[in-house]
Amino acid sequence: MSISKSGAKSLDLLKKLPRISLVNLGPNPGAKKNEKRRGRGQHGGNRSGRGHKGERQRGNRPRLGFEGGQTPFYLVIPKYGYNEGHSRRPQYQPLTLNKLQYLIDLGRVDPSQPIDLTQLVNSRGVTIQPLKRDYGVHLVAEGAENFSAKVNIEVQMASELAIAAIEKNGGVITTSFYDPRSLCILCKPVPFFTRGQPIPKRMLPGEDLLPYYTDAKNRGYMAELAKIQEARMELARTYGYILPDITKEELFEMLSMRKGPRQIFFGLSPGWVVNMAEKKILKPTDERLISYYNSS
Amino acid sequence: MFRRSLSVCCRQIGKTFLSTLPEDVGLPSNLKLPPNLISTAKRERPSPVGSGLPVLRKCEIEIPPQLSAKQAWLESLKDDTLGLVELHPDVFAVPPRLDILHEVIVWQRNFKRISHAKVKTRAEVRGGGRKPWQQKGSGRARHGSIRSPLWRGGGIAHGPRGPTSYYYMLPMKVRVLGLKVALSTKLAQDYLHIIDSLEIPTPEPQYLLDLAKQRQWGESVLIVDVHEDMPENILKATANLKTINLMPVIGLNVYSMLKHETVLLTVDAVNFLEKKLLWHDHRYSPLYPFRLPYNDFP
């Protein structure tokens, strides 16, 4: 109320004032500060802010980190193995169950369709930077007490309590691996389709992450379905809730939708070219291409 | 400048500038009008709110409940006032941010600027490779080249170097807000008029000049329509006129709006502007440029 009233008051005041034109405008007082001009005037001149004699005034100071010959700090501290390759390690953007519930409640994410990283990015719930060694999203269990949505969600990493919270509400959670190129395509599909390249095969995880994604406890996409069923029942026993039977749900078909190990998008196979301008999909006809894209 | 005037006006709300009473001593000197001035004040038009004329155009986009639509006269270039139109307050009644207007105008002037000024340094000036005289013994000052900046005809030490670009982009929302503030201030100061279409009876430029004089639009008029294909009569009439200009609504910008005294918008242009300018209030942040297709939003 007060905002519109003060806006209306100032618009009324304008009626009495001269016409606003190119000659009467200026920045707000204090907005523009004059820049420092070296070598001009009583205070900027004389030595121009360089000090008195020596390397400082003559611009000959040594490189950053040099300590006059004493072993510099950055060389005194020894290297150690636990830091090796720290900048190349895969990073996962956290997604709390609180935030997921918030997005579903506000209608930014549709729980009646499988929730993918594309859906999360489109709803601006997470920001993934594939070029900064982000390998996807990590589902974190903060807000597990208040989570009450039945969803088919696919993330890249999930904590045990988060898996339990999703399955308790009758949902399905899968963890799957996306190599950086596939992740880039998954996060921003439209710019990829405008490039006119065929959808690539999703690469399999390397030897470090393979045990994670073949483990049923993490609901990995490469684990066997029977073992996943056992793991669901065991988790229910551990956390003390009754595991709801999803085969008897209306949305069972949607909840059981899963991507193939080499598939990036639901409904699109690797090797297809999507033409957004003409709304057409082009599929390969050459045998070699078909066998390459269909092989796992 | 405006802030001082605003503070003065706060104390003297309701007094016009033509008051010759000694109370206008409080005004800044550049706003005091000389006492022998022939009155050229615009005659005030009645406010559109109280009149009984029908509202011929309602806002298509929903107005928030705490705000009310602004009403303006719907005029015609041929006949008299046709009725009223309702304008969205979030486009035509935003608080008058004059500093944003200034920022956008400075940006409009400078972002296209490429200064081609370039001078030669001592390395580029022709000659000057040889030491003019020996270091010691000649009695003259020591020099290494005849084209050093100390010499007449020598290079310039710190001059402009090559084409320099002054390109920068203000955030999209600042530029949008600039347009909204410009429209609001034009409407508030009575320099914005809404017309139904651009049809005029004759292709004579004198018709438009007489119309502008009769309706007290001022020296310059900016006429804005949606598309470039406007009726032939008005295209011919404005072809050789310098002060009355036509513009498609995609070319509407703060500089042109403030340069021309009056702005005439057609109802289609108002629809287009409201749709485009209000979209930015509720859109999501871009994942990729907006020219690529988005599915559901923005």
Helix/strand/coil (H, E, C) string of B19-65? CCCHHHHHCCHHHCCCCCCCCCCCCCCCCCCCCCCCEEECCCCCCCC
pLDDT at B3 (0 to 100): 60
Beta bridge partners of A151: none
Structure tokens at B222: 């900016």
> What is the per-residue pLDDT for B4?
56
Which member of B1, B93, B103 has the closest CB to residue A24?
B1
Chain A neighbors of B101, CB-CB under 8 A: 20, 25
Residue B11 has pLDDT above 70, yes or no: no
Among A22, A129, A276, the residue to mutate for chain B (most B Cβ within 10 A) = A22
Both structure tokens of B46? 């009645």
Residue A122: count other Cβ atoms within 10 Å of its Cβ: 21
What is the residue-averaged pLDDT of chain B? 89
Q: Closest approach of chain B CAs to the CA of A29, in angstroms?
A: 9
CA of B204 vs chain A CAs: smallest distance (Å): 29
CA Rg value for chain A: 29
Separation of alpha carbons A14 and A109, rounded Å: 45
Strand partners, A273: A282
**Are A210 and A217 in contact, with CB atoms under 8 Å apart?**
no
| B23 has a pLDDT exceeding 70 | no
Residue pair B93/A7 in contact by the 8 Å Cβ criterion? yes
* pLDDT confidence of residue B20: 47
Q: List the structure tokens of A94.
A: 């956290």
Across B20-26, average pLDDT: 57
User: Is residue A27 less than 8 Å (CB to CB) from chain B?
Assistant: yes
Residue contact A14–B185, C-beta within 8 A? yes
pLDDT digits (tens, 9 = 90+) for A103-142: 999 999 999 999 999 999 999 999 999 999 999 999 999 9
Please answer yes or no on whether A194 and B9 come within 8 Å at the CB atom. Answer: no
Q: Does A26 touch chain B (CB under 8 A)?
A: yes
Q: How many CB pairs (< 8 A) connect A and B?
A: 94
- Span B266-278, mean pLDDT? 96
Tokens 């509720």 locate to B282
Q: Please, which pLDDT band fits residue B36 given cuts at 50, 70 and 90?
A: confident
Chain A environment of B4 (Cβ under 8 Å): none
Rounded percentage of chain B residues whose pLDDT exceeds 90 = 76
Tokens at residue B29, please?
A: 């000197």
pLDDT score for B44:
79
Instruction: Give pLDDT tens digits for B160-196.
Output: 998 999 999 999 999 999 999 999 999 999 999 999 9
Distance CA(A42)–CA(A33), nearest Å, equals 19
Eight-state DSSP code of residue B228: S
Least confident of A187-191, B29-33, B221-225: B29-33
pLDDT value at residue B17: 46
> Which of A6, A16, A191 lies at the smallest CB-CB distance from B288?
A191
Question: Which residue in the set B5, B10, B189 is minimally distant from A15, CB to CB?
Answer: B189
Contact A191 B293 (CB under 8 A): no
